[in-house]
Structure 1
Amino acid sequence: MRLDDYDQDINVEDQRGAAGGGFGGGGGGGLLLGLLPMIGSRFGCGGIVVVLLLLAAFGGLGNLGGLLGGGGSGVPATQVSRPAGNGETLAQKCDTQAARAACNAFSSAQNTWEALFARSGQRFVAPKLVFFGQQGGQSGCGAAMSAMGPFYCPSDQGIYLDTGFFDELTNRFKAPGDFAQYYVIAHEFGHHIQQLTGTSEQVQREQQRVGKTAGNALSVRLELQADCYAGVWAAANRNRLEPGDVEEGMRAAQAIGDDTLQRESQGRVVPDSFTHGTSAQRQEWLRRGMQSGDPAACDTFSGAV
């Protein structure tokens, strides 16, 4: 996919040289740290909700309330401030090939959704892109760790990424290609759109009301909608697609389906524990967004998915 170089007005933070964040009190945090790589193997490029909830249960996160929406502990869009930064230029933050790819995709998604919001008369608020490294980082939702995969934190409206995940896409998930990497960013940007539209908050409220299995099913619908929104972004930029791009996206969506990941990691599939959707579902909703180019076509909450 032929993307332009990132715009100079995107908000990018670089935590790759910073010390990792702590997990608060309680002995359970250390146990969960040891389990994170195994838990992380269950998930693809969605927000790692279950991991963060487990950490919260052991006293690890002080601001989990907005993880799936703009709840009481979330920061309203109008109050999010741009950080002072660490003196790096944008070029220094987007310095490696992987970081540059992420910055280009983030900038493209920002321009695309800003235009879509303007067309529908909605107010758009841009998120930020935050890089962290193997030593970890800190988000408004708590510690950021590589084992968690890329995720979106609604409390500070940040998309968090260890660019080493792009290597995992190629080597572990067998989903190479630049479009597969862009899909990661576009999916997380989709979670930001859900935050702005209030969908995340509605889902969070409903999850607090229903049981675990029903709550997981709602999480699946949220993740599939983010996949569809990633497809909407691709459709808006279809003139930049190159041969093989669609196949790269579908290969990535297939590789990170809950059923595929569970089968590979534990040898069996437990549908009630799905939080992101099956491989077929993720492919279907990514395809639906790409074919329609219409956010309204991404209603995963009406009818079957």
Structure 2
Amino acid sequence: MGGRAGAGIGGVGLLIVLAVGYFAGIDVTPLLQGMPQQQSAPRELSSEEERAAEFSAQVLATTEEVWGQIFPRQVGRDYTPPVMVLYSGVTQSPCGGASGATGPFYCPADRKAYLDTEFFSTLSRELGARGDFAAAYVIAHEVAHHVQNELGILGQVNERRQAVGQARANALTVRLELQADCLSGVWARAVDGLLEPGDLKEALNAARMIGDDHLQRRAGRVPQPHTFTHGTSEQRARWFTAGYETGDINSCNTFQARNL
């Protein structure tokens, strides 16, 4: 990585980002290259991108520690962490192309979580979910999809979604996303000693700000439940809280819940 990216990048910034990638399981190649469809030459990293890379590494490290402890205790086997891909502008994955408009996502095909560096500012400035822990919750949510993949849940749900109609597929996706919110709460409980006053409130606010009903109202539309794919603001906050209060993966079985 160092040989490919050395030209054109400030020494300190390069060392920081390469260290982030090496020690924290973050693939920073797309970030170093910028927009691959438009340019292949490495470019200078902005201070904001460096901060995003460092912050993402710190959060990812906590998820690795937490799930590395929970899996042997609650699942009975070891946990294999994902790789996080930080990119700026656009990128490609086995699950398709992505841009800042796509939002963070997890691709089970390569077991990587993708995060656009601009999303942190979007979350705060446009969606009204401010604070470091709000951003940390979003990263923990994408890692939770990897946890679902490790548990075999993600593959089962994807197979089922392909066999049913759109409305039913959306309903299954809602349960999948709410389970990821709950698993994020399990992670938050495990890092409780690191939380500062107001951190939990930031995470709950982020969950509410990206609820389907809130986003549709924000876009000037009447909420249409049959089109929801992530759950309402109230549901997202409630399932996150359920995971936080119990710290137990078993409390996150949204697929058996009669009421979401």
TM-score when normalising by structure 2? 0.84
Q: Does the residue aligned with 1:268 lie in a helix, a strand or coil?
A: coil
- Is structure 2 residue 60 aligned with structure 1 residue 106? yes
Query: Alignment length, in residue pairs?
Result: 232
**2:76 partner letter:** G
Aligned partner (choices 192, 198, 202) of residue 248 of structure 1: 202
Structure 2 unaligned regions, length at least 5: 1-18
Q: Which residue of structure 2 lines up, in the alignment, with residue 64 of structure 1? A: none
Q: Report the Cα offset of residue 257 of structure 1.
A: 0.2
Instruction: Compare the two structures and name the one with the higher helix fraction.
Output: 2
Any residues of structure 2 matched to 1:1-305 within 5 Å, and which? 9-14=23-28, 15-16=30-31, 17-20=33-36, 96-119=50-73, 120-134=75-89, 136-302=90-256, 303-305=258-260
CA contact (8 A) 1:146 1:162 kept: yes
- Output the aligned Cα RMSD: 2.2
Asked which structure has the greater RCO (Cα within 8 Å, sep 6+), the reply is: 1
- What code does the residue aligned with 2:239 have? W
CA distance in 2, matches of 1:269, 1:107: 37
* Structure 1 segments of 4+ aligned residues over 3 angstroms from their partners: 5-9, 18-22
Q: Alpha-carbon deviation of 1:19? A: 3.4
The structural deviation recorded for 1:266 is 3.4
Contact 1:7–1:107 under 8 Å retained in 2 = no
Instruction: State the one-letter code of the partner of 2:27.
Output: E
- Distance change >3 Å, CA 167–CA 281, structure 1 → 2: same
Structure 2 CA distance for aligned equivalents of residues 178 and 165 of structure 1: 12
Output one character per residue of 1:168-196: Cα deviation in whole Å (capped at 9) or x when no partner.
11111111101001001100000000101
Give the secondary structure class of the aligned counterpart of 2:27. strand
Query: Structure 1, unaligned stretches of length 5 or more?
Result: 23-85
CA contact (8 A) 1:6 1:107 kept: no
If the length of structure 1 is used for normalisation, what is the TM-score? 0.72
Shift of 1:8: 5.7
Whole-angstrom distance in 1 between the partners of 2:147 and 2:101? 25
Match of residue 36 from structure 1:
none
